[in-house]
Amino acid sequence: MLNLWRALLRLMGILLSLVVIIAFTRWPYDAQQWLGNAQVTIPAHPAVLIFLGGSGMPSESNLIRLYYLAAWAKKNPSARVLLLHPPDTAVIEDMKMELMLRGIDTNRIIVMSEGRNTREQALCMAQNYPALLQQQCLVITSPENVKRSVRTFRKLGFSQLYGQGAFERPLMLDLTFSKNRTKVKPYMPDISANLAVRYNFWNYLKLEITCLRECSALFYYKLNGWI
């Protein structure tokens, strides 16, 4: 039994070391790009804009998706807007208010709050709006969820459905600073020009965990025959 625990701890140590090492590379960034790229050209004027939500308000993930949704809705004033979100009335009302603040008429918005995950939301869409199966639809979701969302909807017959990942615009700015000007203690290490330690490692570590979670979800959906 003791040998088993030792082997388990050794395995966990190896996995943790791999996770840390990978966070120093650009692999997490490339993984997110792969998950968020549907590999097809999005039509310029989709008939239906579908928002996939699953978090609170205001939250980073919902707000950036609403930002993209409003931009597409303004470019396509005749497109219908569908909000797919778990049944939380307060959150849904906040999302509608956010869209209204961004200039989107709430009369265009249709709310569907029956599904609690991507598979269930897609099933509800197919059952409640069968006419959309043959229409050009654009699903707006987090970048890492695009591949799974598009495959899930298409599996249920949405033949002209595309995905838009809500990527954030990167900060194109030199963030190095002067150690002397900021009065860093003399006994502290100089990280003024080391962005890998200050930002990249931690950002990629979070992104790596997010992508690992999404790959696990893809594997689960595949085993269930949902994609």
List % helix, strand, coil for the chain (3-state, nearest 5). Answer: 55, 10, 35
Whether the Cβ atoms of residue 139 and residue 147 lie closer than 8 Å to each other: no
CA dist., res. 220 & res. 227, Å (int): 10
- C-beta neighbour count of 113 within 10 angstroms: 17
pLDDT of 188 > 90? The answer is no
pLDDT at 139 over 60: yes
pLDDT at 19 over 90: no
29-45 pLDDT tens trace: 888 888 988 666 788 88
Give the lowest-confidence range in 19-28, 75-84, 189-198.
189-198
Residue 196 has pLDDT above 80, yes or no: no
Which alpha helices (H) appear in 23-88, and where do they start and end?
Answer: 27-36, 60-75
Superfamily of domain 34-168: HUPs (3.40.50.620)
82: nearest Cα among 58, 65, 61: 65
pTM, entire model: 0.83
- Split at pLDDT 50, 70, 90, the class of 13 is confident
Domain ranges in the chain are 34-168, 177-227
Average pLDDT, the chain: 85
Position 198 confidence tier, pLDDT thresholds 50, 70, 90 = low
Strand 137-141, strand 161-165: pairing: parallel
Type of residue at 111: V
* Residues contacting residue 210 through CB under 8 Å, at least 6 positions apart: 32, 144
* Tokens found for residue 45: 């004027």
